[in-house]
A and B are shown apart, each in its own frame.
Chain A
Amino acid sequence: MRIYEVFLKKDGKDEFRHAGSLEAPDDELAIVLARETYVRRAEGDQLWLVDRANVVTVDADFVAPNADKPHRHNDGSLVAADRRARRDLLPAPST
């Protein structure tokens, strides 16, 4: 048996999203089983099935070291606060 990862895409600009996985012995059975398991309520109108053997996985040890770098999470709030402070210093517009 193989394990297939199931991806669904809705109509429009949404991207493909991972929906789950299933076991099947071959591609055609995976298609037939995925149809009613994952799309019976029209959850998507495009379906990708990826044999897990073909998924490139990366060690957590290699991925994890960037978890403690909050300085890379710039949400722009410091810049926004600074701009607001400068605007408040300007004289009120004359009427």
Chain B
Amino acid sequence: MMSAGPREHLLAFADDEHLMGQGHTEWIGVAPFLEEDLAFCSIAQDELGHAAALYELVADDGGADALAFRPPADFRSCHLVELPCDDWAEALARHWLYDLAEQHRWRAMAGSTHPGVAAIVARAEREEVYHRRHAATLVGRLLTTPGEGADRLRAAIDRLLPFADALWDPVAGEAETVAVGVVTAGSAELRAPWRAEVSAALGGPVEWERLAGPRQAGRTVRSEHFAAIHDRITEVVRIDPAAHW
């Protein structure tokens, strides 16, 4: 059985991947054009796959599903992935901000002392190359083409920045997780290069310290949007607890 700090850390990452994947799936069939429909569907599958692999790593006896469908109070997701993002500009902005951050989280696990982590990192990183290129290409093109698209996307990014920056709020026991080497860097250390990349892509400094992010209290508090998402992700198991897919 994994000790509390590393377990909390891996669960928080798994929950982020789970809800991010879930968020992307909600664009299937309604994205602005066919190719984006397929892209979001594929990226969603990848993120859900990462979540499943991380849950499996932490799972005791109930397997990944017991963790994926556990009660709301036990989730450790960040509020960024709990947002509805039902506007396309917000969905794209979140995809971009989240996947830039995800890259650093995987890199901090590449040298993990936990034997199961390395295989997951290798697979995830192969998939994330496409996620980042997809997000950066669309965001880059839209932000540099003056017009409604640029305005809407920039406004969406500005709305999401406080939530994205709060993704780096650590869960309880992070010091232990770093000390035992399950990850090789804490969230404060990963936040700095992420902020630099975001600022550079936005063409100027962001006043990070003035952003008022959500109050997540070590990710133990669920946002107002969480209950609806939890209802959707647990809908099938509530109807049929023995459902298999």
Binary contact readout B131-144 vs A (1 if CB under 8 angstroms, 0 otherwise): 00110011001000
> In the complex, how many residue pairs between chain A and chain B have their CB atoms under 8 Å apart?
34
* Any A CB within 8 A of the CB of B38: yes
- Bound Cα distance from A67 to B38, whole angstroms: 41
Q: Smallest CB–CB gap between B53 and chain A, Å? A: 20
Are B35 and A22 touching (Cβ within 8 A)? yes
Are A35 and B130 touching (Cβ within 8 A)? yes
Q: Which residues of chain B have C-beta atoms less than 8 A from A37's C-beta?
A: 34-35, 38-39
Are B141 and A26 touching (Cβ within 8 A)? yes
- Size bin of chain B's contact surface: 10 to 19
- Bound Cα distance from A33 to B134, whole angstroms: 8
Interface of B is mostly: helix
Q: Smallest CB–CB gap between A22 and chain B, Å? A: 6
- Bound Cα distance from A18 to B41, whole angstroms: 24
Q: Smallest CB–CB gap between B147 and chain A, Å? A: 12
Q: Which residues of chain B have C-beta atoms less than 8 A from A33's C-beta?
A: 35-36, 39
Q: Which residue of A lies closest to B134 (CB)?
A: A32
- Choice from A26, A28, A36 contacting B38 with Cβ under 8 Å: A36
* Any A CB within 8 A of the CB of B223: no
Interface residues of B (CB under 8 A from A): 34-36, 38-39, 41-42, 130, 133-134, 137-138, 141
13 inter-chain pairs at a CB distance below 8 angstroms, sorted by A residue, are A29-B137, A32-B133, A32-B134, A33-B35, A33-B36, A33-B39, A35-B134, A36-B35, A36-B38, A36-B41, A36-B134, A40-B38, A40-B42
